[in-house]
Structure 1
Amino acid sequence: MPDLSSEKLDEYAATFERDGMVVLKHHFPPALLTVWREAFEPLLRERVASQTTAVRGDNRHYITLPFSGVFADESIFCDPAILGIVERVVGDDPVMCQLATDTPLSGSTYQDIHRDTPPLFDDQPEMPSFQLAVNFPLCDVSLENGPFETTLGTHRMRPDEAMKAWRENRLGLQAIQMELGDVMVRDVRALHRGTPNRTDQPRPMVVIGYSRSWYFRPEVHIDVPADADERLSLRAKRLLRYMPRVDRLDVARAPEAYQKFAY
């Protein structure tokens, strides 16, 4: 995973400020993400079969990843370049609050266009960024298997103004095609939607959530088991400081708590 200069991180942060997103090409090793995909496949099958996913539309499933094994990898969630961008956008001492996947299957459909969080204050102009999603796919993402579609710059618009512009066809959607190893950092307030997967293979997209030090949504969280917590670096412990510690992970999971996702 390449180290990036301070100047390059500043450039990425400036692009993010303008567009509400930035993509780092070929950032993670594809071989590592292939291991993630192989570990995720049985989890996906089990959770879909047990109907314990959060349904994000027809044949589209949100699944929290267990913070264990390959998924508790500090080389991913403590990646210096990604955290360098996160800190430039949401300030020093951010919080990691989410480790999950969004996976459209064959038969999925277009989502309604939406934002992933409400504004902090309904009667105020949009604030600086306070909640980010870092996304990376576990396969190549093409126009056929359900690319993420987003608008540029709407993270700095009031929700009503952005939706009015969308309804009046003054906003365009951009399909984000990605290769295995690419990473997207985005403001969750930008108007966006998921698209149909027209192939027979799942299209898993990992999401790691980071937010400002004071922001916490209890329905979005990571259970950190004691054995994993013991192995964490001080940096990782600080990122996960608000996340609940548990003696062990619950194998027989209840349905996902993060149900309301569109605003």
Structure 2
Amino acid sequence: MGSVENRLYDQEIHKIIIPEEVRQNGKATNEIIAEGISFLHRDGIVVLENAIDTAHLDTLNALLSKEALEIAQDPDHHFNFGKETRNMDQAPPPRKDLMFKDVWCNPFAAAILAGVLGPRPVVHYANGNTALKATGRQPVHSDCEFKHPNFLFAMVVNVNLVDTSSENGATEFWLGSHHCSTSAEHAGDATVEEMFEIKKEHIETRRKHSPPIQTTTKKGSLIIRDLRLWHAGMPNKTDDPRVMLAFVVEPAWYQGKGLVKLPKSVKELVESWDDELQFAADWVDEVDHKKIRSTDTSFDTDNIQLNKYREELLYRPAYIPATF
């Protein structure tokens, strides 16, 4: 096992392999749920392998990787942290024939999320990001640009459509950073994107004992992570777009503000998933998924009591040492 000090420098993202018969059955066992919840609390992140039918991912990738090159030519399209990162918004198509349940409402992710967020948690965001060939990287940040509470209030489910590695831009993660991530660690508010960034002095302090890692994931895997976890998009060195879908899930009691724009044609399908995941939807006649922007959403709360005590809930209590 080695010493505690050595383990800090040899971090790995915990991976849970879903047995094929369990994946086919579509029901998470208590063992899978317990393991997922435990490592989410400890590390702020966990990977579920063999959680999704790879044929579904191949179908989506054939469409989205082609569309990525088209979207990148749109001068108004949003690139995360500047166009030099070549990391851009790219949402999945909300079409009934392409809204695979194991992607949009994965039963194993849903069971683990219910364990940490409470029953029937709510999806407030359905988008994604695509890494095109680049040399630039994102700054270290968390996805909380607002004065967020100092407790678990949102989880992200990431679905890569292909195998990922450092070659094609696997995300950099800072394990355990959710334990120390408060509004005080963020860089400032000169621009919206700067509000996401973590101050350099905090990054370097944490790097001394808990440096970041890039993890490899196999096609068919999904990642669950705490919204507060520090991370950064890394350069894709290949010619093929690396598409990663992203769903943000919050507790029902949190009363999140974000709405997922969905066409009325999929309402019956989406509502059939309500016992596992609810969707906070803005139901419209048509949706052009190529025009969906991450800047159009918020992960903040409309809960009256949480807003009443917002300032008290922002930071670590004085009786918890502010160490990294």
Query: Which category of TM-score, normalised to the shorter sequence, fits these structures?
Result: 0.7 to 0.9
Aligned pair partner of 2:268 in 199, 216, 230? 230
The question of 1:139 aligning with 2:166 is answered no
17-26 vs 230-239, which deviates more? 230-239
Contact kept, 8 Å, 2:236 with 2:242, in 1: the verdict is: yes
Secondary structure of the corresponding residue to residue 245 of structure 2: strand
Aligned pair partner of 1:25 in 49, 55, 79? 49
Q: How far 1:191 sits from its partner (Å)?
A: 1.0
Supply the distance in 1 between the matched residues of 2:290 and 2:180 (Cα, whole angstroms): 41
Aligned pair partner of 1:55 in 48, 57, 79? 79
Aligned pair partner of 1:97 in 108, 124, 129? 124
Secondary structure of the corresponding residue to residue 72 of structure 2: helix
Instruction: Give the aligned length.
Output: 254
Aligned pair partner of 2:148 in 120, 132, 140? 120
Supply the distance in 1 between the matched residues of 2:136 and 2:161 (Cα, whole angstroms): 20
Q: How far 1:224 sits from its partner (Å)?
A: 1.5
Contact kept, 8 Å, 1:52 with 1:256, in 2: the verdict is: no
Aligned pair partner of 2:203 in 166, 175, 179? 166
Q: 1:52 to 1:97 in 2, by over 3 A?
A: farther
Match of 1:198 in 2: 237
Match of 1:157 in 2: 180
Tell me the alpha carbon deviations over residues 121-166 of structure 1, each in whole angstroms, 9 at most, x when there is no partner: 4xxxx21x11111111111111111111111111121434685442
Match of 1:4 in 2: 28
AA aligned opposite 1:80? P
Contact kept, 8 Å, 2:181 with 2:228, in 1: the verdict is: no
Contact kept, 8 Å, 1:155 with 1:187, in 2: the verdict is: yes
Aligned pair partner of 1:188 in 227, 236, 239? 227
Contact kept, 8 Å, 2:168 with 2:237, in 1: the verdict is: yes
Secondary structure of the corresponding residue to residue 223 of structure 1: strand
Q: 1:75 to 1:251 in 2, by over 3 A?
A: closer
AA aligned opposite 1:142? S
Match of 1:74 in 2: 101
Q: Which blocks of at least 5 consecutive residues in structure 1 are unaligned?
A: none
Contact kept, 8 Å, 1:52 with 1:253, in 2: the verdict is: no
Secondary structure of the corresponding residue to residue 244 of structure 1: strand
Match of 1:216 in 2: 256
* RMSD across aligned positions (CA): 2.5
Secondary structure of the corresponding residue to residue 37 of structure 2: helix
Q: Which blocks of at least 5 consecutive residues in structure 2 are unaligned?
A: 1-22, 186-197, 300-324
Q: 1:34 to 1:241 in 2, by over 3 A?
A: closer
Q: How far 1:254 sits from its partner (Å)?
A: 7.1
TM-score (norm 1): 0.86
Greater relative contact order, per chain length (Cα 8 Å cut-off, separation 6+) = 1
Match of 2:5 in 1: none
Contact kept, 8 Å, 1:54 with 1:63, in 2: the verdict is: no
Q: How far 1:94 sits from its partner (Å)?
A: 0.8
Secondary structure of the corresponding residue to residue 55 of structure 1: coil
Q: 1:255 to 1:222 in 2, by over 3 A?
A: closer
Secondary structure of the corresponding residue to residue 109 of structure 1: coil
Contact kept, 8 Å, 2:56 with 2:100, in 1: the verdict is: no
Secondary structure of the corresponding residue to residue 224 of structure 1: strand
TM-score (norm 2): 0.71
Contact kept, 8 Å, 2:127 with 2:294, in 1: the verdict is: no
Supply the distance in 1 between the matched residues of 2:137 and 2:266 (Cα, whole angstroms): 37
Secondary structure of the corresponding residue to residue 199 of structure 1: coil
Contact kept, 8 Å, 1:74 with 1:236, in 2: the verdict is: no
**Highest CA radius of gyration, 1 or 2?**
2
Supply the distance in 2 between the matched residues of 1:30 and 1:217 (Cα, whole angstroms): 33
Match of 2:281 in 1: 243
Match of 1:38 in 2: 62
Q: How far 1:256 sits from its partner (Å)?
A: 5.4
Q: How far 1:70 sits from its partner (Å)?
A: 4.4
Q: How far 1:241 sits from its partner (Å)?
A: 4.5
The question of 1:87 aligning with 2:114 is answered yes
Supply the distance in 2 between the matched residues of 1:247 and 1:95 (Cα, whole angstroms): 22
